[in-house]
Amino acid sequence: MVAVSLLVATALHVTPLPTQADIHWIGVSAPTTNVVWLSGSQATIARSTDGGTNWEYFKPTNDNLQFRDIEALDANHAYALSIGENGDSRVYYTSNGGRNWQLRYRAPSTQFLNCLAIGHNGEAWVYGDSQEGRWAMVRSADGRNWLGASNVVDSAPLPDEGGLAASGGCIRYHNQTWAIGTANGSTARLLLKRNFGIRYRAIDTPLPAGPSAGIASVWPISHDHVVLAGGDLNNPAATPRLVRYQNGEFTALPEPSFAGALYSLTVRNNGDIIVTNPNGAGYLPATATDWHILSSADIWNSTCSPQYCYLVGKDGFVARISFDE
């Protein structure tokens, strides 16, 4: 991939960043302008403090885990979530820039965790697949003590209701709101909770539903305004893949030209949207209806810092998006 520029209302510059080519990057977090963390296959995590020009690599464990989500607070503090059954779903934490990692939570052998989010006061939620007709989430009030949480939604889970661990985006905290997108059930549902609420409220959505279908990524703009992305992994033509929930109603948004369920969703502070999947990445300005294709690479996730955005994916793919604003 070579650096490219796209002329939109804001000029975009997409620049490839060299990393370990044998790692499938899935998680990405950019808490400040020049700090970016990556997580992925082979139990590997990377950190850059210069906007992705140089990287340090870490392995929190000798086990060959797949870290599908990373949530960084700054250059030194970060949480990483691995996925899988048989005790492979775990939460690790570092307070010294990745040099040392502590195992903060290890799920029981039958529990599969999908995604992790951290609130502004240190509260953390991990969304997992339901078990035996009960929700199987994990919550921490302070990042130290982690407990299972089952009675946290205003209705029971649907049969087989769980999540899509495609990008770690199926749970997110933003603007005093917690949002979760569900999958694999007969209906894809949005779970919403205010910061100090007791339980999540379950809302039926129009996104595709069923096995390997549903919501992969959520972005709460406020408690009554959420953008949702997803689709059906087994049916690339299934729609809608991108919708807006606002004031109790769902509206389908314009979709990018590349096919397939959308894995990740990032909404910039100005309302611009980035989506990705194994067929590429697209950028939709807030006031436009036409998508601009950023890449056709196999891209699983995206994130934005105050200055840059980043794309990550297979075969060590990482790219930085800069803006002329």
Here the tokens at position 227 are: 């953008």
Here the tokens at position 185 are: 């059930």
Residues 62-93, buried b or exposed e (16+ Cβ, 10 A)? eeebbbbbbbbbebebbbbbbbbeeebbbbbb
Residues 99-130, buried b or exposed e (16+ Cβ, 10 A)? eebeebbebeeebbbbbbbbbeeebbbbbbbb
pLDDT at 197: 85
pLDDT at 325: 65
Residue 10 scores a pLDDT above 80: no
Q: What is the mean pLDDT of residues 200-229?
A: 97
This prediction has a pTM of 0.95
Amino acid at 167: S
With beta carbons less than 8 A apart as the criterion, state whether 198 and 153 touch: no
Question: What is the band of 4 on the pLDDT scale with cuts at 50, 70, 90?
Answer: very low
Look at phi and psi of residue 20 and say left if phi exceeds 0, alpha if psi is from -120 to 50, else beta: beta
Cis ω before 240 (30° cut-off from 0): yes
Q: What is the mean pLDDT of residues 130-151?
A: 95
Here the tokens at position 240 are: 């809608």
Here the tokens at position 165 are: 């661990």
Q: What is the mean pLDDT of residues 235-262?
A: 97
pLDDT at 49: 98
With beta carbons less than 8 A apart as the criterion, state whether 92 and 100 touch: no
Residue for token pair 């699983």: 300
Superfamily of domain 4-324: YVTN repeat-like/Quinoprotein amine dehydrogenase (2.130.10.10)
Q: What is the mean pLDDT of residues 197-215?
A: 96
Cβ–Cβ contacts within 10 Å for residue 22, how many?
11
The 3-state secondary structure of the chain reads CCCEEECCCCEEEEEECCCCCCCCEEEEECCCCCCEEEEECCCCEEEECCCCCCCEEECCCCCCCEEEEEEECCCCCEEEEEECCCCCCEEEEECCCCCCCEEEEECCCCCCEEEEEECCCCCEEEEECCECCECCEEEECCCCCEEEECCCECCCCCCCCECCCCCCCCEEEECCEEEEECECCCCCEEEEEECCCCCEEEEECCCCCCCCEEEEEEEEEECCEEEEEEEECCCCCCCCCEEEEECCEEEECCCCCCCCCCCEEEECCCCCEEEEECCEEEEECCCCCCCEEEECCCEEEEEECCCCEEEEECCCCEEEEEEEC
pLDDT tens figures, 256-315: 999 999 999 999 999 999 999 999 999 999 999 999 999 999 999 999 998 999 999 999
Residue 6 scores a pLDDT above 90: no
Here the tokens at position 199 are: 């339980």
pLDDT tens figures, 93-119: 999 999 999 999 999 999 999 999 999
pLDDT tens figures, 33-84: 999 999 999 999 999 999 999 999 999 999 999 999 999 999 999 999 999 9
Here the tokens at position 195 are: 């910061």
With beta carbons less than 8 A apart as the criterion, state whether 93 and 100 touch: no
pLDDT at 3: 43
pLDDT at 1: 43
Residue 319 scores a pLDDT above 50: yes
Q: What is the mean pLDDT of residues 194-203?
A: 92
